[in-house]
Amino acid sequence: MRLRITTAGTKIATITAWYIGIVVVTLTLGVTTTPVAGYIAAVGLPVAMVWFCTRTFPGDSEDIAPPRPWWRMTERPAAGYVLGALFAAQAIGYATAPASWAEPVARAAAFAVAAVIAAGYLNSSARLTRGMAGAAR
Protein backbone atom coordinates (compact mmCIF):
# COMPACT_ATOMS: atom_id res chain seq x y z
CA MET A 1 0.00 0.00 0.00
CA ARG A 2 1.27 3.44 -0.93
CA LEU A 3 1.64 6.19 1.64
CA ARG A 4 -1.06 8.82 1.11
CA ILE A 5 -1.48 11.96 3.21
CA THR A 6 -5.00 13.24 2.67
CA THR A 7 -5.90 15.67 5.46
CA ALA A 8 -4.94 19.34 5.28
CA GLY A 9 -3.58 19.39 8.83
CA THR A 10 -1.31 16.42 8.21
CA LYS A 11 -0.09 17.95 4.95
CA ILE A 12 0.77 21.21 6.73
CA ALA A 13 2.53 19.31 9.52
CA THR A 14 4.49 17.27 6.97
CA ILE A 15 5.66 20.35 5.06
CA THR A 16 6.57 22.10 8.32
CA ALA A 17 8.57 19.07 9.48
CA TRP A 18 10.39 18.93 6.14
CA TYR A 19 11.35 22.61 6.35
CA ILE A 20 12.55 22.29 9.94
CA GLY A 21 14.53 19.19 8.98
CA ILE A 22 16.08 20.93 5.99
CA VAL A 23 17.18 23.89 8.13
CA VAL A 24 18.58 21.67 10.89
CA VAL A 25 20.46 19.35 8.51
CA THR A 26 21.78 22.21 6.37
CA LEU A 27 23.03 24.23 9.33
CA THR A 28 24.47 21.18 11.08
CA LEU A 29 26.39 20.09 7.99
CA GLY A 30 27.51 23.62 7.20
CA VAL A 31 28.87 24.16 10.71
CA THR A 32 30.27 20.71 11.52
CA THR A 33 31.77 19.82 8.14
CA THR A 34 32.20 22.27 5.29
CA PRO A 35 29.96 24.96 3.80
CA VAL A 36 29.81 22.88 0.62
CA ALA A 37 28.05 20.07 2.51
CA GLY A 38 25.52 22.60 3.76
CA TYR A 39 24.98 23.89 0.21
CA ILE A 40 24.46 20.36 -1.09
CA ALA A 41 21.87 19.68 1.62
CA ALA A 42 20.19 23.05 1.01
CA VAL A 43 19.82 22.19 -2.68
CA GLY A 44 19.12 18.45 -2.51
CA LEU A 45 16.71 18.20 0.40
CA PRO A 46 14.10 20.57 -1.08
CA VAL A 47 14.07 18.38 -4.20
CA ALA A 48 13.35 15.37 -1.98
CA MET A 49 10.62 17.33 -0.19
CA VAL A 50 8.89 18.34 -3.43
CA TRP A 51 9.12 14.79 -4.77
CA PHE A 52 7.71 13.32 -1.53
CA CYS A 53 4.85 15.82 -1.31
CA THR A 54 3.81 15.55 -4.95
CA ARG A 55 3.72 11.76 -4.69
CA THR A 56 1.91 11.48 -1.34
CA PHE A 57 -0.56 14.42 -1.25
CA PRO A 58 -3.54 13.43 -3.43
CA GLY A 59 -6.34 15.93 -3.84
CA ASP A 60 -9.96 15.32 -2.92
CA SER A 61 -10.90 14.45 -6.51
CA GLU A 62 -8.01 12.00 -7.01
CA ASP A 63 -8.16 8.26 -6.48
CA ILE A 64 -5.65 7.39 -3.77
CA ALA A 65 -4.97 3.81 -4.90
CA PRO A 66 -2.99 4.30 -8.13
CA PRO A 67 0.10 6.50 -8.24
CA ARG A 68 -0.15 9.87 -9.92
CA PRO A 69 1.15 10.12 -13.47
CA TRP A 70 4.87 11.03 -13.40
CA TRP A 71 4.19 14.57 -14.64
CA ARG A 72 1.34 15.43 -12.26
CA MET A 73 2.35 17.52 -9.26
CA THR A 74 -0.97 18.97 -8.01
CA GLU A 75 -4.65 18.12 -8.03
CA ARG A 76 -5.73 21.25 -9.91
CA PRO A 77 -3.96 23.63 -12.29
CA ALA A 78 -4.25 26.77 -10.13
CA ALA A 79 -2.12 25.33 -7.33
CA GLY A 80 0.61 24.36 -9.78
CA TYR A 81 0.60 27.78 -11.41
CA VAL A 82 0.99 29.46 -8.01
CA LEU A 83 3.74 27.10 -6.86
CA GLY A 84 5.46 27.34 -10.25
CA ALA A 85 5.46 31.13 -10.02
CA LEU A 86 6.85 31.01 -6.48
CA PHE A 87 9.68 28.67 -7.46
CA ALA A 88 10.37 30.79 -10.57
CA ALA A 89 10.62 33.88 -8.35
CA GLN A 90 12.99 31.96 -6.09
CA ALA A 91 15.13 31.02 -9.11
CA ILE A 92 15.25 34.65 -10.22
CA GLY A 93 16.25 35.62 -6.69
CA TYR A 94 19.15 33.16 -6.77
CA ALA A 95 20.22 34.41 -10.20
CA THR A 96 20.21 38.05 -9.13
CA ALA A 97 21.55 37.66 -5.58
CA PRO A 98 24.70 39.61 -4.69
CA ALA A 99 27.91 37.76 -5.49
CA SER A 100 28.78 37.59 -1.79
CA TRP A 101 25.65 35.57 -1.03
CA ALA A 102 27.17 32.14 -1.75
CA GLU A 103 29.77 30.34 -3.77
CA PRO A 104 29.05 30.63 -7.52
CA VAL A 105 28.56 26.88 -7.90
CA ALA A 106 26.09 26.81 -5.00
CA ARG A 107 24.16 29.75 -6.45
CA ALA A 108 24.04 28.08 -9.86
CA ALA A 109 22.83 24.80 -8.33
CA ALA A 110 20.16 26.57 -6.26
CA PHE A 111 19.01 28.46 -9.36
CA ALA A 112 18.86 25.28 -11.44
CA VAL A 113 16.91 23.34 -8.83
CA ALA A 114 14.35 26.12 -8.30
CA ALA A 115 13.98 26.59 -12.07
CA VAL A 116 13.46 22.86 -12.69
CA ILE A 117 10.87 22.62 -9.89
CA ALA A 118 9.09 25.70 -11.30
CA ALA A 119 9.08 24.13 -14.76
CA GLY A 120 7.67 20.90 -13.32
CA TYR A 121 4.78 22.67 -11.62
CA LEU A 122 4.04 24.81 -14.68
CA ASN A 123 4.16 21.78 -17.00
CA SER A 124 1.84 19.87 -14.69
CA SER A 125 -0.66 22.72 -14.62
CA ALA A 126 -0.52 23.22 -18.38
CA ARG A 127 -1.23 19.52 -18.94
CA LEU A 128 -4.06 19.56 -16.39
CA THR A 129 -5.53 22.69 -18.04
CA ARG A 130 -5.42 21.03 -21.47
CA GLY A 131 -7.01 17.90 -20.02
CA MET A 132 -9.83 19.91 -18.45
CA ALA A 133 -10.40 21.82 -21.67
CA GLY A 134 -10.55 18.55 -23.61
CA ALA A 135 -12.99 17.03 -21.11
CA ALA A 136 -15.30 20.07 -21.40
CA ARG A 137 -15.70 19.63 -25.16
Tell me the per-residue pLDDT of 9-67, one tens digit each, with 9 for 90 and over: 999 999 999 999 999 999 999 899 988 888 889 889 999 999 999 999 999 999 888 88
Distance CA 73, CA 61 (A): 14
Counted residue by residue, the chain has a size of 137
Q: Give the whole-number percent of the chain exceeding pLDDT 90.
A: 65
pLDDT more than 70, % of the chain? 94
Domain membership flag for residue 95:
yes
**Domain membership of residue 26 as a residue range:** 8-136
Asked, for residue 80, whether it belongs to a domain, the answer is yes
Q: What is the pLDDT of residues 70-93, one digit of tens each?
A: 999 999 999 999 999 999 999 999
Count of structural domains within the chain: 1
The verdict on residue 3 lying in a domain is: no
How many Cα neighbours within 13 Å face the side chain of 118? 14
Instruction: Tell me what pLDDT residue 65 has.
Output: 86
Per residue in 1-15, is it b (16+ CB within 10 Å) or e — as a string? eeeebeeeeeeeebe
Rounded distance between C-alpha atoms, residue 86 and residue 75, angstroms: 17
Q: Domain for residue 2, yes or no?
A: no
